[in-house]
Structures are given as structure tokens and as C-alpha cells.
Amino acid sequence: MAFARRRRRGRGDLLVAWVLVAWVLVAWGALCARGAGRVSEMKQEIVVAYDGTRQSRAAIEWAAAECRARHRAGVTVCQVWDGPYPERAEAVAAEERRLAGLRLFEGVRLAERLLPGREVRPVLVRGDPKDTLVGLSRNAAMLVLGHRSVHGLARLLRGSVSAYAAAHAACPVVVVGAPASAPPAGGVVVGIDAARPVGPEADSALRFAVEVARGRSLPLTAVYATRGREPEGERALARIVEPWRLRCRARPAIGTRVVEAPALPALVACAREAWLLVVGTHRTGAGLLGSVGQGLLRRAACPVAVVHPVPVWPIPCDIPTI
């Protein structure tokens, strides 16, 4: 009888243990689902860098308009300051941080004025702007930043933050120069790489360009720069664009243009009449932008979007996939 009681007690303990295991698994699943939800929400946000310059103000204006066009909840405004070295006086570091906080407050107020009723999340970080912005891009749908011209020795020593972010970010990067006026008649222009006319580079760039053009109700033009092989370029461009025309059903209208010129001067000329210029990129061994991408960031008269071939960024609209 004692053995039977011990046996029943053992079964009861086993049942309790299984209930505890099941409860832990359910709780863990709920926690993971909640965490995945947060990551998904973060992936939907637009991150914009602000440093108080007129280019960064233009970047906030561009990001706010894109937020409204894509019906997103809000934006994240980031101020990165690389203050004095640790051996300097602590009072100097505190003053640097205070000024950075004031700049961030200014950027947040601007975003809130442009996006009434939507969430504007401030982020103040001390560190290297290049690495910080690339880190933020891993949980962003888009990274928007202003471009300041850096020349001479300063460019050699510091490099360009915008070029570095465009080369290494995990999401599309939009680089905005001087404050933009009303959208030009040219709408959105996407450059197709003649060296890789068919492949993930062209597909990712076209996908992003279609999204922006559709959200802003702007026309889209695909540009193919070639050197003396215009019929071949027209055929290659048609192979790329036609499937997207079928997908989009004229929303937006997609035009094509073949230019007999090197890629950089051809796209710089197109940028004079464009509202946004979109280019794809392929990572080299050093993870750098090619000469065309770097040249466009310096010389284009309109904002430039750099899109990597791996589409880690979400596509919220109803474009069907093939």
C-alpha cells in the first residue's frame, strides 16, 4: 500500500513538472512573439540624423513627408556627438553634451511640427557618427541624413559620413543636400547599372523607386546609360521594366530612357530635373560605394537614395511578388 501511495505521488509530481514545463514554454513563446513584434515595429520606422545644419533640416523635412506618404506612425530623430577626448576636462564634455541635447531638441521640435499627432522618438548618442548610424540602420526601414560637402584635408581625415552610411547601412539610405523646393516635373529617376542590368541590384533599386513614386504620386523613369549600344540598352531596359509595369498597373507610370553617355554624367544630368534619384549598389570587397555612387552623392542636385541588393527593408504596400 505504501508503494502504491509513493507511485501515485510520483505520478503527481511528474504531472506538476510537465505543467510547469508547459507554462514556461508558453511564457517563453509569448515573450519571443512580443520581442518579434517590437523588432517588426522598429523595422517600420524612419531614422533621420540631425546636427543643426540646413542640410539636416532638409533631411527631417524629407523624412516627415515620406512618413506621411507611407502612413507610418512616426520617425526617430538622432543626434550623434563625438565630444572631446576622455583626458579632457569633464566640464568640457558636459558642455558638449548640453549643446548636443539642444540641437536634438531643435530637430525633434521641427519633426513634431511637421508630423502633428505622430510619435517622434529622440535618440542622443555619444560616439562615432558613422558607426552609430550604421548600427541604427539595422532596425530601420530607411535612414535619412543631410550631406555636407567636405573638401581637402578634412575629407581625407574624416571621410564622408553619408558615403560611409550609404555603403554600409542595412537599409536604404537617402542623402539630402540643400533644402528642396517644389517637386520638379521629373519625379523619381532610377539608374540601372549597365554592368548588371538584370539581377538583385536593379530589382532592389526599382522596387524602392516604385514604392516612393507610388507614395508621392510621382512618375518614375528608369535610366540606362550606355556607350554607343543604344538598341542593346533599350532591350535590356525593357526586360527589367516590363515586369514592374505589369505588377504596378500604371501606379506609378514607369517610363524608360536610354542615354548614350557614361553613367555618372548621365545620372547627374537627370538629377537636375528629378525629385529623387535612386541607385542600386553592389558591395565590393572593402564594402565601399563605387565611383558612380560616390560621385552622385557629391554632385547630384536632388536627394539620392542608395539601395543595397539584399532587400532587408520591409515593403508595406501591395506590390505582388513574382
Q: What tens digit of pLDDT does each residue of 206-250 get?
A: 899 999 999 888 999 999 888 766 667 677 788 888 888 888 877
**Whole-angstrom distance, CA of residue 68 vs CA of residue 49:** 18
Same domain, 142 and 217: no
Q: Decide if 26 is inside a domain.
A: no
**Whole-angstrom distance, CA of residue 259 vs CA of residue 42:** 40
Last residue of a domain, one of 176, 202, 230: 176
Which pLDDT belongs to residue 156? 42
Say whether pLDDT at 2 is over 60.
Answer: no
**Whole-angstrom distance, CA of residue 247 vs CA of residue 322:** 9
Q: Decide if 315 is inside a domain.
A: no
Q: What tens digit of pLDDT does each residue of 285-309 get?
A: 444 577 888 889 988 999 999 998 7
Which pairs from 21-29 meet CB under 8 Å and 24+ separation? none
**Whole-angstrom distance, CA of residue 96 vs CA of residue 84:** 8
Which pLDDT belongs to residue 276? 94
CB 296 within 8 A of CB 274: no
CB 219 within 8 A of CB 187: yes
Half-sphere exposure of 284 (CA within 13 A, CB side): 7
Which pLDDT belongs to residue 269? 93
Same domain, 117 and 57: yes
Same domain, 154 and 230: no
Residue with the larger pLDDT of the pair 155 and 175: 175
Same domain, 139 and 192: no
Q: Decide if 321 is inside a domain.
A: no
% of the chain with per-residue pLDDT over 90: 35
Same domain, 207 and 277: yes
Q: Decide if 155 is inside a domain.
A: yes
Same domain, 169 and 48: yes
Across the range 5-27, mean pLDDT stands at: 51
> What is the three-class DSSP state of 178?
coil
**Whole-angstrom distance, CA of residue 60 vs CA of residue 65:** 9
Same domain, 263 and 199: yes
Cα dist from 50 to 86, 132, 290, whole Å: 24, 13, 26
Domain that holds residue 254: 188-307
Which pLDDT belongs to residue 249? 79
Q: What tens digit of pLDDT does each residue of 187-205 get?
A: 999 998 766 655 677 788 8
Which pLDDT belongs to residue 153? 44
Which pLDDT belongs to residue 135? 93
Q: What tens digit of pLDDT does each residue of 17-43 get?
A: 554 545 434 443 443 443 333 333 445
% of the chain with per-residue pLDDT over 70: 67
Q: Decide if 182 is inside a domain.
A: no
Q: What tens digit of pLDDT does each residue of 39-82 get?
A: 334 456 899 999 999 999 999 999 999 998 887 778 999 999 87
CATH code of residue 132: 3.40.50.620
Q: Specify the residue for cell string 568640457.
A: 92
Q: Decide if 258 is inside a domain.
A: yes
**Whole-angstrom distance, CA of residue 212 vs CA of residue 43:** 17
Same domain, 121 and 223: no
Query: What is the pLDDT confidence band of residue 115, given thresholds at 50, 70 and 90?
Result: very high
**Whole-angstrom distance, CA of residue 238 vs CA of residue 202:** 13
Report the first-to-last Cα separation within the chain, whole angstroms.
70
Q: Decide if 103 is inside a domain.
A: yes
> What is the three-class DSSP state of 77?
strand
Which pLDDT belongs to residue 45? 84
Same domain, 71 and 129: yes
Number of domains in the chain: 2
pTM summary value: 0.77
218: left (phi over 0), alpha (psi -120 to 50) or beta: beta
> What is the three-class DSSP state of 222?
strand
Amino acid at residue number 73: A
Same domain, 192 and 113: no
**Whole-angstrom distance, CA of residue 248 vs CA of residue 320:** 8
**Whole-angstrom distance, CA of residue 48 vs CA of residue 59:** 7
Same domain, 68 and 138: yes
Which pLDDT belongs to residue 186? 73
The dihedral built from the CA positions of residue 49, 50, 56 and 58, taken in this order, carries a sign that is positive
Which pLDDT belongs to residue 7? 52
Alpha helices in 197-309 (DSSP H): 200-216, 230-248, 263-271, 291-299
- Residue 162: CB atoms within 10 A of its CB come to 30
Which pLDDT belongs to residue 83? 66
Q: Decide if 96 is inside a domain.
A: yes
Which pLDDT belongs to residue 39? 34
Last residue of a domain, one of 128, 147, 176: 176
Last residue of a domain, one of 137, 156, 176: 176
